[in-house]
Amino acid sequence: MKINIWIKKEEVLSGNITKYYTQIKNLGYEDYVQVSITPDEFARLEDGDTRGNSWIIEQYNRNKLAEEQVKSIDEIPFIYERNPDTNKVYRRKYGDYDNKEEVKIRSERIADFSDMLTFIKNLNGGEFREWYDRAGSEDKAMYNKVFEKLQDKPKK
């Protein structure tokens, strides 16, 4: 799908679009040109994002290792979207709105008592502090149970 907008000729040349129109009404049409853009580009215009694809590239690279980072939008393998009505997740190529596939979200296995015990025994003090500061309430509750069990004195 493409969206047609009208913009000033000089803004086409500069690439800095400040105003756009979906219809031309007494604008002095000779100063404007019609341009077809993608819904993603239109959303960026609506949001006032004049950075173009740089924001998308920054977001993609945000938590990636240096060797996994991309330099252009064409290098991004997929864009993931969640349908808020169905809560289903889809992936598609950037700009390809017709070909999307549903992604099955795997549920993560929840650690049990023995997992936590093994985990705690293998951490040094600095690693533990780092983990504990980031741990959620469920992980901390499991840790407390394991710690209490470790404190129990064996019966004679």
Residue 138 CA to its chain's centroid (Å): 25
Residue-wise pLDDT for 3-30, tens only, equals 888 888 887 777 677 788 887 766 666 7
Letter string b/e over residues 19-52, b meaning 16 or more CB atoms within 10 A of that residue's CB: ebeeeeeeeeeeebeebebeeebbebbeeeeeee
Final residue in a domain of this structure, among 30, 47, 64: 47
| Domain assignment present for 156 | no
Which stretches of the chain are assigned E, i.e. beta strand? 3-8, 32-37, 79-82, 89-92, 100-103
Number of independent structural domains in the chain: 3
101 confidence band (pLDDT: 50, 70, 90): very high
Range of the domain at 31: 3-47
Same domain, 99 and 62: yes
Structure tokens at 134: 């980031």
Tokens of 86: 């169905």
User: Is residue 66 domain-shared with residue 99, that is, in the same domain?
Assistant: yes
Is 67 a domain residue? yes
> Is position 35 within any domain?
yes
Query: How far apart (Å, rounded) are the C-alpha atoms in residues 52 and 34?
Result: 19
Calculate the CA dihedral of residues 108, 113, 119, 120 and round it to 10 degrees: 140
21 found inside a domain: yes
Structure tokens at 22: 């979906």
Which is higher by pLDDT, 143 or 110? 143
Percent of the chain, pLDDT > 70?
A: 85
Cα–Cα distance, 74 to 48 (Å, whole number) = 23
Alpha-carbon distance 128 to 93, whole Å? 40
